[in-house]
Amino acid sequence: MRVKEGNDLHSGVSLEEEGLDRLNQPPPRSGPVKPILAAAIVLLLLGVVVYRGITDRVKTTSALARETLQQAVRLVSVIQPKRGAPAEEIVLPGNIMAFIDAPIYARTNGYLKQWHVDIGTHVKTGQLLAEIDTPEVEQQLQQARADLATAEANFQLAEITTSRYQELLKTDSVSKQEADNASGDFQAKKAIVQSARYNVKRLEELQSFQRIYAPFDGVITARNTDIGALIDSGSGSPARELFHIASTRELRIYVKVPQAYARAAKPGLSAALTLAEFPNRRFKGTLVRTAEAIDAATRTLLVEIDMENPTGELLPGAYVEVHLRLPSPSPAYLLPVNTLLFRSEGLQVAVLEAGTHAVLIPVTIGRDFGTEVEIVSGLNGDENVIVNPPDSLVSGEEVSIAPSANTSGKGN
């Protein structure tokens, strides 16, 4: 019984606690509210998912369209033309020559009696170079003088005879024919005397050629004879030059200028000359004349450059490099060869117009420098010329400038 009472007591306490818990709990809601709220939440979440899906798809489609359009536009690189220099220096090979250069031949036959100068001797105008022994000429001169004396004696006799015949003719002591014969003989003897005198003068001048003199101031560059050598007159075979003389106080340099520069090579231009034996020096010269004609074999223009050589340090026959600064005949621009388009319409380049479109313009090239060419017409100098234009590029096509390596590097 006690146990039962104990159980009842315990049961009573539990009932009281349960009652208090029920009082603290909120009143129960009606049954249909929970399902509706859950469905609304599900619908809301579903709408959000659908909206984000549609938005992402639209963004992806738009980005794809933009990328497709961008890929359809050609990416090109551009460069601006470089203005050509107003004067261009070209280096050409040249040969130094004496301003005056002459071989010395004998004008009479004989044997060399004595020479007075050798190679390297600086001589003055009229200086004695050599003497020739001419026995044959001397004998011919003596004979010519004897012939002159005979002719003069005959002339005097003819003069006396004709004078007498003229006096006798006045008294009819001689016929007219005899007087005319005497007068004709007198004129003939007179002509013979003149001929003999000219022959003596010729041989005297020939004898004067026994002594050979320098024709101008210069230096003896060759001596091709010696004492006792047989001397033949003239400059043809079998004659041989005795000396060679050159004037070196002023020098000539002959240069062959390529045809491309021929128009700019005009008299009055300054030239700088360099030689290997003078590595740190430049000698000044002046272009004085041109051949005024292109050599058909070499397609070059022969020009002459003169320079002073008062000390004689530059020698004739030496090789020299000639630096010529030639003015450009017209304003020109330089472009790389990879900007040119060879079309049936002619040579063209593609330029960027308004920053978005390519335009093809015809150009005319001048000189070809290998990696670059000279454009003499067609450009103003402020164009953006497309580098490596594709062969399929047409005028008016939309293009875009490719970002440079430096620009793309900045983003990283």
DSSP per-residue letters across 171-237: TTSS-HHHHHHHHHHHHHHHHHHHHHHHHHHHHHHHHHTTEEE-SSSEEEEEE---TT-EE--SSST
Evaluate whether 227 touches 133 at the Cβ level (below 8 Å): no
**pLDDT in the model for residue 382:** 82
Evaluate whether 224 touches 242 at the Cβ level (below 8 Å): yes
Cα 151–Cα 152–Cα 157 angle in degrees, nearest 5: 100
**pLDDT in the model for residue 137:** 86
Q: List CB contacts of 266: < 8 A, sequence separation 6 or more.
A: 287, 290
238 prior amide bond cis, ω within 30: yes
Q: Per residue of the chain (412 residues), give pLDDT as tens.
A: 344 444 444 444 454 555 545 545 555 555 556 778 777 787 777 777 777 778 777 777 666 655 655 555 677 888 888 887 666 778 999 999 999 999 999 988 889 999 999 999 999 999 999 999 988 888 999 999 999 999 999 999 999 998 888 888 888 888 888 888 988 998 999 999 999 999 999 998 888 888 999 999 999 999 999 999 988 887 555 678 899 999 999 999 999 999 888 888 889 999 999 999 999 899 999 999 999 999 999 999 999 999 999 988 999 999 999 999 887 666 678 899 898 888 888 888 888 887 788 888 898 887 787 888 888 788 888 888 989 888 888 888 888 787 763 333 333 3
Tokens 């008299």 identify what position? Answer: 267
**pLDDT in the model for residue 219:** 94
**pLDDT in the model for residue 51:** 75
3-state secondary structure of 84: coil
**pLDDT in the model for residue 263:** 85
Q: How far apart are CA 65 and CA 84, in angstroms?
A: 45
Round to the nearest angstrom and report the end-to-end CA distance of the chain: 93
| Beta carbons within 10 angstroms of residue 317's beta carbon | 11
Q: How far apart are CA 232 and CA 230, in angstroms?
A: 7
Evaluate whether 162 touches 249 at the Cβ level (below 8 Å): no
Which helix (H) or strand (E) element contains residue 395? Answer: none
3-state secondary structure of 18: helix
pTM of the model: 0.56
**pLDDT in the model for residue 406:** 37
Evaluate whether 286 touches 334 at the Cβ level (below 8 Å): no
